[in-house]
Structure 1
Amino acid sequence: MLNAAAKPFVKLVERYLPDPYIFVLLLSIVVFAAAVLLQQHSPLQVLQYWGDGFWGLLSFSMQMLLVLVTGFMLASTPLVTGLLNRLAALAKSAGQAIVLVTVISLIASWLNWGFGLVVGALFAKALARRIKVDYRLLVASAYSGFIVWHGGLAGSIPLTIATPGHFSEAQIGIIPTSDTIFAGFNLLLVALLFIAVPLLNYLMRPSAADSVYVDAAKLQQDRLPAASIDRPADKLENSLLLALLVGFAGIAYLVQYFGKGGSLNLNIVNFLFLFLAIVLHGTPRRLLHSLHQAIQGGAGIVIQFPFYAGIMAIMVQSGLAQSMSQWFVSFASAETLALWSFISAGIVNIFVPSGGGQWAVQAPVMLPAALELGADVSRIAMAVAWGDAWTNLIQPFWALPVLAIAGLKAKDIMGYCLLQLIVTGVIISLVLSFA
């Protein structure tokens, strides 16, 4: 039944969803027009917002590019390739491969979102090398696990409001993670998604006639030619000692960092991936060969993220994001505020695809409403967090690293993700409203 239900979504998206670059251009025009028409700003004012904010995500863009590159380099080491292949060997059929990649992605994303994006995509490729399975659904399944990240250990909103000195402390105080990430309603929601998302992906398997398979040979890493050492510089490029000295220095730093109670964040994930790759590749030459392969998929991140920074600047500076949130709050009650906070956050996330940035925009609207209505502030905060995570299923912004690693386009996976969006939206809404 779900295979039949997914088919029109897949065809619709394949036909009408443009390349993510075209999508972000269209999104820029829509937001620009909305700021002028709805917020009554002059075109020159909006143009100023857009241009001033265009480079606001440079640091984050580099982080995301490194997620792609360092994750790819680590995965191409013989040790990790072997581990992924052994784990992939647990799947004996296409259905098992779909479930396995979804569960691994869910676990990894709950631990850390950057880790989940890379691990899910790399594991999907490992499975596709062994199992004859629809490659589009396999990669979509890997990406669908990302939905739980904001209810997990690296959720930016619950961690922000649990940190002394956060910008809303005067209003709501410090809210511990026991009331957000580890609250009963949030754990129930995570558990339900751990059941529903793999099951839905399993039931969406297309028939053999409709399936799209990938040639396993195309997923293999290019072999590094044998080294010819004719110059002193060649000896350095093939030096095991040089790689291990630098690599173990990085690992020693990580031991010290975690020994002092440090937690996973995007920089630490990238640091971990990079220095493990340096050690496990063995020589600088092998690492650089892997880097050359990895960097080819990063073009989308480089060109598109500045446009999203410009969109975010217009949404925030023009007041458009706040107006959208206020409209939903205007007809909410104490019982329904969590639901409308979730839905409004999902819509705002299309234009402001950043958990921390979205909270900065919506908190000044949602928190006073929660206090005035007597709603549970921790639940409202998590409703915004889940809204942010929910529409990532159809937001190409976050899918770019996964698509680059897998070698697919957004239109190849978003049809399946669209059906996931509908089903998970119902589950999240019910839990936030009644649990």
Structure 2
Amino acid sequence: MLRALSRPATRLMERWLPDAFIFVIILTLVAAVAAVSSQDVTPAALIGMWGDGFWSLLQFSMQMLLVLVTGFILASSPPVRRLLEWVAGFATTRGSAIILVSVVSLAASWLNWGFGLVVGAIFAKELARKIRVDYRLLVAAAYSGFVIWHGGLSGSIPLTIATEGHFTADQIGVIPTSETIFSYWNLIIVALIVIVLPIANRMMLPLESEQVLVDPSLLNEATAPKARPEHATPAEWLENSPILMWLIGVPGLVWLATYFAAGGGLNLNVVNFMFLFLGIICHGTARSLLTALDQAVRGGAGIVIQFPFYAGIMAIMTGSGLAASMSEWFVSISTANSLPFWSFISAGIVNIFVPSGGGQWAVQAPVMLPAAEALGADIPRVVMGIAWGDAWTNLLQPFWALPMLGIAGLKPRDIMGFCVVLLLVTGVLIGGLLYLL
């Protein structure tokens, strides 16, 4: 059944889903028209909001670009390549390749969302070198693991409310992760996704005659650097010497060790730092690392040009009050038992326009928390409803797929047909459990 559903969905997306840059422009216009028509805001004021917020994600954009680049550098190093080849060896059939990449991506994304995006894409490419399997589904399966991130260790909303002095602390206090991420009902959702998602991906596997394959030779990330000349110049000697790499790489690893020993956790900056300095050590020479870097940056164009437009959309949604109005409507039809479910649905819709967990919480918390208190709803469940909704529609929103697609060398239209089917499967699973548990 899922294979039958994926066929028309894939054809539809390949035909009608434009390049991600066109998609973000259309999304900008939709948000602008909706804000002007439903909120008390003039076009001139809306343009001001849009322009003022356009560059608000510059730091985040650079972090995401570095997720792609540093992850690519590490994965193209000889030791990591050998490790990936060994793990990929456990997949012997098309179906086992899809299940294996799904499980690896889910585990990595539960640990840290940035880690999951990079590991999933890199592992999908390694599997594609070994197994003749539909490359689109392989990358879609790798990306699908990202749906678990907000129920995992790097979930920004549950971690925010577990932090002293967060902006809603006066209203709800500090809620420990034992009541959100590690609550029995959230762990049930996570466990069922880990079971269901790989099976769903496997069931969408096209027939061999319908597969879209890729030439394995096209998946080679970095060519081997040229050997050091016999009579190398001082500059060539430095570029091919491991001494400098170890002199800078070892202090980086020492800092990481002391950071984790002191109780530090994974965040985007730490993940990038770890990828970079492990990459420095694993490549061994500056020439090898720079060869990988030259190829890594080619996949980052989408991040550089599109993320500012998403920042502008977020400014429209929050500044005009449109996101809050959408949340208020869902609150108006909720009861104490159904509010976590409707929080999930509303967050999923808002996430299409505001693809940022922290930004979404800032928009929806002032609406959802008073409603939860007034209705007597369980606040941790409402909070996690928003968190899961934010993660859920990432299957439809290409914002987070861009780093992975840059590494894999695909366009959103290549994987979104499969992702739409997974959106339906995970939506029923997560929404149903939030309502029933």
Interval of TM-score (by shorter of Structure 1 and Structure 2)? over 0.9
The answer on 1:103 being equivalent to 2:103 is: yes
**1:419 equivalent in structure 2:** 421
Q: Name the CA distance, whole Å, in 2 between partners of 1:109 and 1:163.
A: 22
- SS in structure 2 at match of 1:164: coil
The residue that corresponds to 2:306 in the other structure is 304
The one-letter amino acid of 2:114's match is G
Q: Residue 138 of structure 2 aligns with which residue?
A: 138
Which residue does the alignment assign to 1:216?
216
CA shift, 1:231, in A, is: 2.1
Structure 2 gaps of 5+ residues are none
**Residue 227 of structure 1, CA deviation:** 2.9
C-alpha distance in structure 2 between counterparts of 1:366 and 1:44, whole Å: 30
Q: Which amino acid aligns with 2:3?
A: N
1:387 aligns with 2:383: no
Q: Deviations 1:284-306 (Å, cap 9, x if unpaired)?
A: 11111110010000000000000
Letter in 2 for 1:218: L
Q: Give the equivalent residue in structure 1 for 2:81.
A: 81
| Corresponding letter in the other structure for 2:138 | L
Which residue is 1:295 aligned to? Answer: 297
CA distance in 2 between counterparts of 1:226 and 1:193 reads 48
| Cα distance in 1, alignment partners of residues 243 and 168 from structure 2 | 50
User: 2: distance between equivalents of 1:72 and 1:186?
Assistant: 32
Bigger shift: residues 215-224 or 193-202: 215-224
Shift of 1:434: 0.8
1:8-67 deviation digits (Å, cap 9, x = unpaired): 111111111111000000011111111111112111100000000000000000000000
Q: Which residue number in structure 1 is paired with residue 318 of structure 2? A: 316
User: What is the identity percentage for the equivalent residue pairs of Structure 1 and Structure 2?
Assistant: 63
Match of 2:398 in 1: 396
CA distance in 2 between partners of 1:429 and 1:305 (Å): 29
Q: Within 5 Å, which residues of 2 pair with 1:30-49? A: 30-49=30-49
Amino acid at match of 1:225: K
When the two chains are superposed, the root-mean-square deviation of aligned CA atoms in Å is 0.7
1:336 Cα deviation after fit: 0.8
Instruction: State the Cα deviation string for residues 264-295 of structure 1 (Å, max 9, x = none).
Output: 00000000000000111001111111100100
Which letter does structure 1 place at the counterpart of 2:15? R
The letter of the residue matching 2:6 is A
Partner of 1:234: 236
Instruction: Tell me which amino acid in the other structure corresponds to 1:135.
Output: Y
Asked whether the 8 Å contact 2:225–2:287 carries over to 1, the reply is: no
- Per-residue Cα deviation, 1:196-224 (whole angstroms, up to 9, x for no partner): 10000000000111110011111123232
Q: Distance in 1 between matches of 2:133 and 2:333?
A: 47
Q: Which residue of 2 aligns with 1:55?
A: 55
Question: Matches of residues 22-421 of structure 1 in structure 2 within 5 Å?
Answer: 22-221=22-221, 222-228=223-229, 230-421=232-423
Offset, 1:71: 0.1
Instruction: State the one-letter code of the partner of 2:320.
Output: S
Point out the more displaced range, 302-311 or 31-40: 31-40
Alignment-mate amino acid for residue 156 of structure 2 = S
Q: Give per-residue Cα distances to partners, 1:215-269, cap 9 Å, x unaligned.
A: 1111123232223354211111112110101001100100110111000000000
Whole-Å Cα distance in 1 between the matches of residues 422 and 37 of structure 2?
33
Q: Which amino acid aligns with 1:359?
A: W
Aligned equivalents of 1:302, 1:143: Cα separation in 2:
20
The CA deviation at 1:187 is 0.2
Give the SS at the match of 2:208.
Answer: coil
Could you tell me which amino acid in structure 2 is paired with residue 399 of structure 1?
A: A
1:372-427 deviation per Cα after TM superposition (whole angstroms, max 9, x unaligned): 00000000000000000000001100000110111111000000000000010000
What are the Cα deviations for residues 182-201 of structure 1, in whole angstroms up to 9, with x where unaligned?
Answer: 00110000000001100000
Cα distance in structure 2, aligned partners of 1:287 and 1:220 = 15
Amino acid at match of 2:9: F
CA contact (8 A) 2:109 2:148 kept: yes
Distance 2:22 2:5 in 1: 27
DSSP 3-state at the match of 1:143: helix
Other structure's SS at 1:56 match: coil
Task: Please state whether the residue corresponding to 1:315 is helix, strand or coil.
Answer: helix
TM-score (norm. length: structure 1): 0.99
**Equivalent position amino acid for 2:284 in 1:** G
On the 8 A contact 2:347/2:386 being kept in 1, the answer is yes
How far apart, in 2, do the equivalents of 1:255 and 1:175 lie? 29
| Match in the other structure for 1:8 | 8
Q: Distance in 2 between matches of 1:6 and 1:295?
A: 32
Give 3-state SS (helix, strand or coil) of 1:129's partner: helix
Q: CA deviation at 1:134?
A: 0.3
Distance 1:167 1:426 in 2: 32
Quick one: distance in 1 between partners of 2:157 and 2:2? 34
CA distance in 1, matches of 2:157, 2:238: 46
| Aligned-partner Cα distance in 2 for 1:96–1:199 | 10
Distance across 2 between alignment mates of 1:2 and 1:428: 18
What CA distance in whole angstroms lies between the structure 1 residues aligned with 2:296 and 2:289? Answer: 10
